[in-house]
Amino acid sequence: MHPELFLLIGISLSLGFTPGPNNAVASFSGFNFGIKKTIPLILGVWLGYTAFVILTNFALISTFIKYPIIQEIIRILGTFFLIYLAYKISFSSLSRDDEKVNQVKFIDTFIFQFLNPKGVMAGITLISKFVLEDDYFNSSLTVIVVCSITALTSITTWAFFGKFLRKFATNNNFIKRFNYAMSLLLVVCIIGFYI
């Protein structure tokens, strides 16, 4: 597995750090609510995606291969959830900092990892490619650890990116435009899933 470890890490990082639903929501949350109030979201993505990869690796991969319609159902359900999130982000109300409550909760992001089309496809692809039959346990553990670390670092980085952009928010119009941009990014992700 050592020669392929760098390839696994590279693919995992490229999938994790590129714009996607989780990253857009993390930037939105970091921007509007700060890092402290974004921690539940970060933990939801990290633990949810790790749980998804573990479950897929040990129980669901054969089901996904045998019944590809399940992947399509997940993609459709994920699309509806993303539309709902885009709506919430676009129309989030502006209020004083001490009154702000993050609308995206731990449970939302945890459950979404099982419906996130980008995450589901990434997990299935990495497991299919890098989990070896002749070294099942070790290769499974390697994939799970790499996916888990990537999920944590990418979602945290995007949250800090949103927090950093907050420095440039000098008025409510900028904040509205940023929220619309993050909502639009979610819509672009939805379109990307069907192209």
Give dist(CA 48, CA 33) in Å, integer.
Answer: 21
Q: How confident is the model at residue 128 (pLDDT cuts 50, 70, 90)?
A: confident
Domain coordinates in residue numbering, the chain: 22-194
pTM: 0.81
Q: Which of 105, 1, 103, 117 is nearest to 52 (CA)?
A: 117
Judged against a pLDDT cut of 60, whether residue 1 lies above it is answered with no
Q: Phi first, then psi: what are they for 113, rounded to 5°?
A: -60, -25
Q: How confident is the model at residue 89 (pLDDT cuts 50, 70, 90)?
A: confident
Q: How confident is the model at residue 159 (pLDDT cuts 50, 70, 90)?
A: very high
Average pLDDT, the chain: 84
Each residue of 29-79: pLDDT tens digit?
999 899 999 999 999 999 999 999 999 888 877 777 788 888 778 878 877
pLDDT over 70 for what percent of the chain?
90
Contact (CB, 8 A) for 138 and 1? yes
- The neighbour count for residue 127, using CB atoms within 10 Å, is 21
